[in-house]
Amino acid sequence: MIELYQIPYSPYCIVIRRILEAARAKFRTLNVPHGDRSLVWRVTRQRYYAVPVVREGRQVLFETDEQSQVIAKYLDSRLNLGLFPAEWEGVQSLLWPTFEDGIEALGFRLNDVHWREFIPRAQQLAFIRHKERKFGRGCLEDWQARQPELLDQLATRLVPCETMLLRHPFLLGDRPLFVDFDLYGMLGNFLFSGHYDLPPTHTRLQQWYDRMSRISLPFTA
């Protein structure tokens, strides 16, 4: 059985979890405490401490750099999903860094504003410490105060995605590819707290997100 080591609200974990769900693969999730990565450190034999990590038998998969997509490509090959067709290789390689930078950077800030609702009390100190060491003291309060501004920025950055859906049900055509799952994960993190909706002007994106929430793989148009 496939094991997914995850933080449930992590956008990158949501990507992998949705791929596994869509493929109807047998898998189980193991939640990693935000401030304690010892489980991941042990599973990866002291080679990695981030999430997601996937283990299947003796295979332990994790990313080699910020753009590697090792796990998704392994699952694509292992489960024969067709998420990385050769004809779209270059385009997808250009798109997913855009999603994982521009969209994720706003989405996680807006989700983190509501951290008290989904971070267990025992992990809250480690969560705050991690955020403030990376983004500066008072970052969570700053993001909370700037919510309207951040939401406007997110709506603007999603305009190209809305445009890509003008003539097709998925970002690059008539079937979902990896970039669909990648964008789904970035938006899944933004929506995780339950306090937000997708921008109301992006009606095609809303329909696409609902479609991606129910999609099954392998996909037949």
Would you say residue 220 lies in a domain? no
Q: Range of 183's domain?
A: 86-214
Q: What is the CATH number of the domain that holds 25?
A: 3.40.30.10
CB atoms under 10 Å from CB of 71, counted, come to 20
* Nearest CA among 43, 60, 66, 53 for reference residue 17: 53
Do 71 and 141 lie in a common domain? no
The confidence score (pLDDT) of residue 218 equals 83
Q: What is the CATH number of the domain that holds 178?
A: 1.20.1050.10
The confidence score (pLDDT) of residue 220 equals 63
Would you say residue 73 lies in a domain? yes
The confidence score (pLDDT) of residue 221 equals 58
Do 123 and 154 lie in a common domain? yes
Do 97 and 183 lie in a common domain? yes
CB atoms under 10 Å from CB of 133, counted, come to 10
C-beta of residue 54 within 8 angstroms of C-beta of residue 3: yes
CA distance linking residue 24 with residue 75, whole number of Å: 12
The confidence score (pLDDT) of residue 67 equals 84
Do 101 and 120 lie in a common domain? yes
The confidence score (pLDDT) of residue 15 equals 98
The confidence score (pLDDT) of residue 34 equals 81
The confidence score (pLDDT) of residue 35 equals 81
- Domain total of the chain: 2
Which residue's structure tokens are 């979902």?
176
CA distance linking residue 187 with residue 192, whole number of Å: 8
CA distance linking residue 47 with residue 195, whole number of Å: 36
Do 151 and 172 lie in a common domain? yes
Facing residues of 5 across strands? Answer: 30, 53
Q: From first to last of its 221 residues, what are the pLDDT tens digits of the chain?
A: 999 999 999 999 999 999 999 999 999 999 999 888 999 999 999 999 999 999 999 999 999 988 899 999 999 999 999 999 999 999 999 999 999 999 999 999 999 999 999 999 999 999 999 999 999 999 999 999 999 999 999 999 999 999 999 999 999 999 999 999 999 999 999 999 999 999 999 999 999 999 999 999 987 65
Would you say residue 121 lies in a domain? yes
The confidence score (pLDDT) of residue 140 equals 98
Do 15 and 104 lie in a common domain? no
